[in-house]
Amino acid sequence: MNYKLTIGWLFPELMSTYGDRGNIICIQKRCEWRGINIEILKLDLGLKIDDLRSCDFLFMGGAQDLQQKIVSEDLRKKREILKEMIEDNVPGLYICGAYQLLGKYYKEADGTIIEGLGILDLYTENPGENSKRLIGNIVIESGIMNHELRQNTLVGFENHGGRTYLGKNIRLLGKVIKGFGNNGEDKTEGAIYKNSFGSYLHGPILPKNPHFADYLISLSLKEKYKKSVPLSPLDDSLEWAAHKAIAKRLGISI
């Protein structure tokens, strides 16, 4: 059988920092190497509802506050569709600014509120200009992946002023081993709601975490074809070397 996934890349021009576009390349290549066809739809300002609806996997990266505000206004018009898709288990990965946007609100350093889409039970506040940004490499432990290597760590690079706090109706993506994560206080990182994943991990996250990339591909195939589609193994030696190198910089041996 010929499998195909349509990837919706939300706001590639405005929401893409610290290598976020590498996530799209990673998903595309890992699928193509296995003979899975990939179509990438770039969904920019004024995106068409039908294009959004046709996606099997959604990705949106991070941005500075200015871009986040523009996107928040545009996306508000499509909020119901996006909410419907997320509630219907369409898999998605939302990094940093995108993750914040799916929550209730983001309070900027000067106190201005950027309304979120209110789809995920979380909110984000930047404590003010005198507070430090949460910057650096990060390692977290996540229980979501049942990878053959039993590798449960995720590594990445974070750079955010906002502190995110999770509500009761959402699970964390992982626990911080080294780094800041959601808010630098409670050791949580990211969030999971149905098949949607929010995270502060740029870097980009997927090439350095091939088990997570495959997990998202599997989820997308399963949702679309309503059955488990086995993924043939790939030579991930370089990817795991990158993963381990980041952990090693933080004094963690994997």
| Residue numbers annotated as active site | 96, 202
| 190 lies in the site for ligand GLN, by CB under 6 A | no
The interface region with ligand GLN, picked from 155-163, 171-179, 212-220, 225-233 by CB under 6 A, is 155-163
SS3 for 254?
A: coil
Contact present, 138 and 157 (Cβ < 8 Å): yes
| 89 lies in the site for ligand GLN, by CB under 6 A | no
The interface region with ligand GLN, picked from 27-35, 156-164, 207-215, 235-243 by CB under 6 A, is 156-164
| Residue 207 CA: distances (Å) to CA of 30, 51, 113, 115, 202 | 10, 26, 33, 31, 11
| Least distance CB 31 / ligand GLN (angstroms) | 26
| 75 lies in the site for ligand GLN, by CB under 6 A | no
| For ligand GLN, the closer CB: 38 or 101 | 101
> Which of 19, 27, 38, 68 is close enough to bind ligand GLN by CB under 6 A?
68
Q: Which of 201, 151, 193, 213 is nearest to 176 (CA)?
A: 201
| For ligand GLN, the closer CB: 72 or 209 | 72
Contact present, 114 and 102 (Cβ < 8 Å): no
Provide the β-strand partners of residue 125.
107, 163
| Least distance CB 91 / ligand GLN (angstroms) | 21
Q: How many CA atoms lie within 13 A of 196 on its CB side?
A: 24
- In this chain, which residue has its C-beta nearest to ligand GLN? 62
